[in-house]
Chains A and B, each alone.
Chain A
Amino acid sequence: MSGEHPSPVDTTPASPVAAARFDVRDFARTAVGSHRESIDLSVFEEDPLPLTVVQLLAYARELERSTMTYLRNVLVTPTHKDARVTAFLTTWAFEKYWIADSFEVVVRAHGVDPAEAETLSRFRAIALEIAERATPIVESFRANAIGTDVIGLHMASVAVDEWITEAAYTRLLADCPHAVLTPLLEHVLEVKARHRLFVDPDAERRLAESPRARSLARRALPRIDWPIGAASLARTDTALFYEQLIDDELARSIDAKAAELPGLEKLHLVQNARRAALENPGHPAARLGRSLGAAAATLAHTLRSTTKGGTNG
């Protein structure tokens, strides 16, 4: 999945005017629910998706489904006090639930159980368990000491996350034209575009207004495993996500967009996340496999070089 692509990152600068105009109540009223009726599963019998695409959709399903874990860490902070933000997040979680559901339906139609995307090594599962238990407690103490500036960080994290997934889906849309997948992804992108209408200007305004929010975001954003939700998913799947959908150029363009948010210059969030995911795709067994593969390749190369006279090494 490579080739020439128009940049899927919308580079229109977020406008503070739009923040004032975004009607949270109207957004809630017109929330988009189940996509099931528009998905004709019988098409997949004739024209199934490639296995890699199915795997990517299973991964995307987990990302979209991780809202409750995200809200868990967000709501213990003063962010939960802002009724406008929570009204938005309520509908946002609802729409993302149904996006996840639509991916799940497609994945299942290919005989794959999406729950299998979560295959963590035992060591990582335990580490994650400890981290998950501690996070809301730590977050609660930390963020309550910081106060409402933390809302700026939370909105910025949703913004960057939306840019990543949106770019990924746009790339998938371009790379894998399909009678059912194409309209589904187009629809999903429309739903997500509306999230950005709230999130982008809100993040920008909150960061612009407060130096503390900016410094908090600068420190905290690089610590997130992008995309949000990746922390509890198999590293091999995250590696596949970056390998197939976010190339270096795309990562760079998302980072450039993040750099336009006040105080977030030169962070390289997505480029770093991409590099980390591709350099360390998985548990020790996978790494061992790769080193063995590399060793075998070197050996083969040496053998070839020897037989050819060894000049082209």
Chain B
Amino acid sequence: MAFDIDKYTETSEKVAWQDLDFSDFRTNPLPEGTLRSLRYMCDIEYHTVCYLRDMLVTPSHKDEDVTAFMTMWNREEFWHGEALAAVLAEHDVIVDFDELKATRLKLGWKDRLDPVKQSLLGNIVGEGFIAVHMVWGAANEWSAVAAYNRLADLEQHPVLAELLRRIAKQEARHVAFYATQARERLGRSKRAQVLARFALKNFWGPVGSGVMTDAEVKHVMGHLMGGTEGRREAAKIDAHIARMPGLDGLTIVQDALDARGIAA
């Protein structure tokens, strides 16, 4: 199914939470482990602009549909950050821009070289790299949808669940964009398939790895993707990815869990 970019941009909006009764968190506060996962998700959403940067250095930045999407996507994700920050604020966890800046500053040299590496690589292979960018984005967005829905199920907190479902719904639209683009572009080019397979297999990591500490990545993975139910969700994401042209047999999400010793 084609993705209607005009319809997407026209209906893109910041996630709403003003109608939800957040004071409920004061009487029914969330447990420590959940706040830790929310904090992780909140930071990742705010850091979307860093991913935007990694993606813009590839030839994708000239495609009008892609840039239209990325403008809206970047803003929607920022608002997910704001919404989650509002939940955290009810628990007296304050996320401010200066602190986010400190996290970004801590990233150091690896981060500095990444866009250069991506640009060199992206420019050598040109157009084909847009496919990699798209399938990479799809994998991340599928993970996000799964994570938000899973947290909503796990926590069973009516206010939190409603907010997370709203966020997941927007993430699902991002999936639609990335997956449509990826399927088309991979379908057209054998070279793109080989490249995407290589990039995902060797370089993909759970959303947030590289920005957050390993301890935090492990906590969130264990919290949301651990156990039988969690593992089932991870397998579903892998199945989505494996259905892409040329990517059959890939199990990157489950491999990432195994590598971190997350129990099934």
Contacts and interface: CB of A to CB of B under 8 A. Distances in A.
A136 B54 CA distance: 11
Given A81-B101, A140-B116, A97 B56 contact: no
A75 B100 CA distance: 15
Interface of A: 24-25, 28-29, 31, 33-34, 36, 65, 67-69, 71-72, 75-76, 80-84, 86-87, 89-91, 93-94, 97, 101, 115, 132-133, 136-137, 140-141, 144
B115 interface: yes
Contact of B119 (A33, A133, A144): A133
A137 B116 contact: yes
Given A75-B52, A81-B105, 18 more contacts: A28-B82, A29-B14, A33-B12, A34-B9, A34-B10, A75-B49, A76-B53, A76-B57, A80-B49, A80-B53, A83-B97, A83-B98, A87-B78, A91-B75, A94-B72, A97-B68, A115-B64, A136-B57
Contacts of A140: 112, 115-116, 119
Given A34-B10, A75-B56, A83-B97, A68 B67 contact: yes
Q: Which 7 A-B pairs have the closest CB atoms?
A: A75-B53, A83-B100, A72-B56, A83-B97, A81-B104, A68-B67, A84-B97
A2 B50 CA distance: 45
Nearest to A144: B112
Nearest to A97: B71
Contacts of A91: 75, 78
Contacts of B161: none
Contacts of A141: 116
B74 A137 contact: no
A89 B49 contact: yes
Contacts of A80: 49-50, 53, 104
B101 A84 contact: yes
A265 B75 CA distance: 36
A97 B9 contact: yes
B75 A90 contact: yes
A82 B101 contact: yes
**From A33, A76, A141, residue with most partner B Cβ within 10 Å:** A76
A134 to B, nearest CB: 9
Given A25-B82, A80-B49, A133 B104 contact: no
Given A80-B50, A84-B97, A93 B71 contact: yes
Contacts of B119: 133, 136-137, 140
A239 B112 CA distance: 38
Contacts of A97: 9, 68, 71-72
Interface in B89-131: 97-98, 100-101, 104-105, 112, 115-116, 119-120, 123
A76 B115 contact: yes
A86 to B, nearest CB: 4
A136 B117 CA distance: 11
Nearest to B12: A33
Contacts of B62: 69, 132
B46 interface: yes
B176 interface: no
B101 A68 contact: no
A294 to B, nearest CB: 37
B61 interface: yes
B70 interface: yes
11 contacts: A28-B79, A33-B12, A36-B10, A81-B105, A82-B97, A83-B100, A90-B75, A97-B71, A97-B72, A133-B119, A133-B123
B227 to A, nearest CB: 34
Given A75-B56, A90-B74, A97-B71, A69 B61 contact: yes
A67 B64 CA distance: 12
A137 B14 CA distance: 33
A80 to B, nearest CB: 5
